[in-house]
Homo-oligomer: A and B are copies of this chain.
Amino acid sequence: MKREIIEIAKRTKEAQYQLANVSVEIINRCLKKMASMLIKNSQQILEANRKDITVAEKEHKSKAFIDRLSLTPKRIKEMANSLEEIASLRTPVNEIIKGWTRPNGLVINKVRVPIGVICIIYEARPNVTSDCVGLCMKTFNGLILRGGGSSFNSNITIINILKRALKEENLPEDTFNYIPFKEREAINVLLKYCKEYIDLVIPRGGEGLIKIVEKISRIPVIKHYKGICHIYVDKEAEIQMALDIILNAKVQRPGVCNAVETLLIHQDIANQILPLIKKKLEKYNVEIRGCPLTKKIIPQIKSATLKDWKTEYLDLVISIKIVSGVEEAIEHINKYGSKHSDSIITNNYLTAKKFMERVDSACVYHNASTRFTDGYQFGLGAEMGISTDKLHARGPMGLEELTTYKYLIYGTGQIRS
């Protein structure tokens, strides 16, 4: 297995170098072909997916897990749409980010280029497979995919269909490759022995996976870690706006990383708003866990412990803490948050400014739901995931974040004196 995985990585690197000879028009044509081939072969994909689901059901996986794993004709249509959309976007590759002329006449251009070969290690959702292929092709990156064991049949089937489109366009067949080994050891080999061929690893999945990847990787990693998102309701918040945003951020889709997990409520507004929050959330079966002060106002709730402030519920559960003001809210978020997405609800300009500047997260909102942290919602077209790291890429990773740059320097014989 080790030898085979290293061989796959090496071939992907070679194919990526060849991509430099390909025009973006051909890439776009190929992406559109991939979209139509997914639709045309829906039946085959659904059959493979059925196999995966059967195994998952036998293994008594959770309903949420099986939902994430399941493909439907509608979801396959969405995968195809995503490829079409990527085809319609402008590639950031070869964009001249900056350019200037030095006093000695040297012309310096800072130009966007592909990163090289990217390795994505992900879990259940099979739609990630085609999204990543589309994004990496559009940015002239090679791609190595290692999906979760539960979606193995679905992923392999999707990859084989996409590879046919590659072949029809005469593109290098190793532009992307799926690692055909379900064993955990495969991840080890990729991270420890393929450093020469892989430029970046993106782990996307549960906390356990991310921690393992971070620990053993010899290759640079951009983590797509958990989202412990907060909403701070200031004393100068508009009550109805706060209620609407809280409800949206918690219940619209509780199982995702940009859903809110903790509410921080200004002490001066707590008496007024907490009963309303409780009423609204309980209508949607949200379990509330509160700090002692919160429990004084709405006693019929569970107690929040230290552990709650550090927990990404990904479920219809929310924790509430009463704070003395924006300073305490900022401190709490920077201490317990995951640098993902946090929001303040207030009509006070200076309070909002302080919050936005000081909260050390990828996305900081003023008077809006945290649920907007998403490549599509941001208008980036598509996303490889959401980085919670601070280097290279932060927040939604779109096409631009899948590039690096180099300097092209044009002279007429300049030497240094």
Chain A residues engaging chain B, CB cutoff 8 angstroms: 17, 20, 100, 102, 106, 108, 115-116, 199-200, 214, 218, 220, 222, 238, 241, 244-245, 247-249, 252, 334, 356-358, 360-369, 371-373, 377-379, 389-392, 394-395, 404-417
Contact A407/B364 with A220-B220, A413-B245 known, Cβ cut-off 8 Å: yes
Do B395 and A406 touch across chains, with their CB atoms under 8 A apart? yes
A77 to B235, CA, bound (A): 54
Contact A20/B200 with A411-B367, A416-B377 known, Cβ cut-off 8 Å: no
**Closest-CB distance, A400 to chain B (whole angstroms):** 10
Q: Which of B200, B362, B369 contacts A416 (CB 8 A)?
A: B369
Nearest-neighbor residue (CB-CB) of A220 within chain B: B391
Find chain B residues with CB under 8 A from A116 CB.
360, 390
Do A406 and B362 touch across chains, with their CB atoms under 8 A apart? yes
A236 to B409, CA, bound (A): 19
Q: List 18 A-B contacts (CB under 8 A).
A: A17-B358, A106-B368, A108-B379, A115-B391, A199-B390, A247-B415, A248-B416, A252-B417, A362-B406, A364-B406, A364-B408, A367-B410, A367-B413, A368-B411, A371-B416, A372-B409, A372-B414, A394-B404
A334, A372, A389 — most chain B CB neighbours (10 Å): A372
A253 to B410, CA, bound (A): 22
Q: Which of B108, B360, B377, B408 contacts A102 (CB 8 A)?
A: B377
Find chain B residues with CB under 8 A from A199 CB.
390-391
Find chain B residues with CB under 8 A from A371 CB.
415-416
Do B379 and A241 touch across chains, with their CB atoms under 8 A apart? no
Find chain B residues with CB under 8 A from A365 CB.
409-411
Q: Which of B241, B389, B394 contacts A406 (CB 8 A)?
A: B394
A102, A389, A415 — most chain B CB neighbours (10 Å): A415
Nearest-neighbor residue (CB-CB) of A215 within chain B: B218
Contact A108/B378 with A361-B406, A415-B369, A416-B248 known, Cβ cut-off 8 Å: yes
A355 to B356, CA, bound (A): 45
Find chain B residues with CB under 8 A from A361 CB.
406
A123 to B369, CA, bound (A): 48
Do B379 and A100 touch across chains, with their CB atoms under 8 A apart? yes
A369 to B102, CA, bound (A): 14
A239 to B358, CA, bound (A): 58
**Besides the contacts A244-B415, A249-B415, what 14 more A-B pairs have beta carbons closer than 8 Å?**
A199-B390, A200-B390, A200-B391, A214-B218, A222-B391, A248-B416, A364-B406, A365-B410, A367-B410, A368-B409, A368-B412, A369-B415, A372-B409, A395-B407
Do A391 and B392 touch across chains, with their CB atoms under 8 A apart? yes
Find chain B residues with CB under 8 A from A362 CB.
406-407
**Closest-CB distance, A97 to chain B (whole angstroms):** 11
A367 to B408, CA, bound (A): 11
Nearest-neighbor residue (CB-CB) of A195 within chain B: B214
Nearest-neighbor residue (CB-CB) of A411 within chain B: B368
A415 to B373, CA, bound (A): 12
Do B414 and A368 touch across chains, with their CB atoms under 8 A apart? yes
Find chain B residues with CB under 8 A from A406 CB.
360-364, 394-395
Do A412 and B367 touch across chains, with their CB atoms under 8 A apart? yes
Do A391 and B379 touch across chains, with their CB atoms under 8 A apart? no
Nearest-neighbor residue (CB-CB) of A102 within chain B: B379
Find chain B residues with CB under 8 A from A366 CB.
408-411
Find chain B residues with CB under 8 A from A248 CB.
415-416
A357 to B408, CA, bound (A): 9
